Amino acid sequence: MIMNFFKFFLLLAVPLLLEANTLSGEALAKRLHLSAGTKAVIQWERVFKSERKKRKYKIETLSPSEQDILKEYLISHAIDSDKPTVAGE
């Protein structure tokens, strides 16, 4: 059993090395003071389609790839998005 646990936790090391220093959508949202739960999916989509709104929320200060990551995060955490279902969280 101990050996199996040991092998199992060795698996953890691989993604750990790969993932370090990657900026997440959550961190980008925090940096711009945006809270995903304040808007519905369709409203966040509207924000990213409008240059005026992107300026308003300072999203335009991010690179295109960062904008994509942020958009994915905000939409997937929007107030009406599919949410994790877990006891007591």
Partner 1 sequence: MGNKIILSSLMLFSLLHAQEVTADKPTIEDLIKEIQKLKESIKELKAAQKENSSYIEEVDEHVEKTETRLLQDKLKFGLDFKTNLDNFSKKYASGRVVKNNNIWSNKLMLNAKADITGSMKFYARLSMYKYWGSSYVHPYSSYDNMQGRVPADSSIYVERAYLDWFFNKDGILPFAVTIGRQPSGDGPSFQFKDNTMRKATYSALLYDGAADGIVTTFNLSKVLKYKKTYLRFGYAKGFGYAETANDVGNAYIGASNNDLKDTNVYGIFLDTRVPYLHNSLVQVSYSKMKDIIANPLDGSAMTNKNLGDMDIYGAMVEITNLKNMNLDLFAHYGYIKTDPNSNTYLRYGGLLNSPGSSASKSGDAIWLGARYGFGEKAKYKVGLEYNHGSKNWVSLTQGSFDVYNKLATRGDAYEAYVMYVANRYVNIRLGYIKIDYDYTRSGWFVGEPLPLNILSPSADYDLKSLESAYLKMNVNF
Binding site residues, partner 1, CB under 8 A: 1, 4-5, 8-9, 11-12, 15-16, 18-22, 24, 26-27, 41, 69, 76, 82-89
Q: How far apart are CA 14 and CA 18, in angstroms?
A: 7
- Compare residues 60 and 68 and give the one whose CB is closer to partner 1: 68
Residues with Cβ < 8 Å from 45, sequence gap 6 or more?
75
Shortest distance in whole angstroms from residue 52 CB to partner 1: 23
Q: How far apart are CA 31 and CA 57, in angstroms?
A: 11
- Compare residues 52 and 64 and give the one whose CB is closer to partner 1: 64
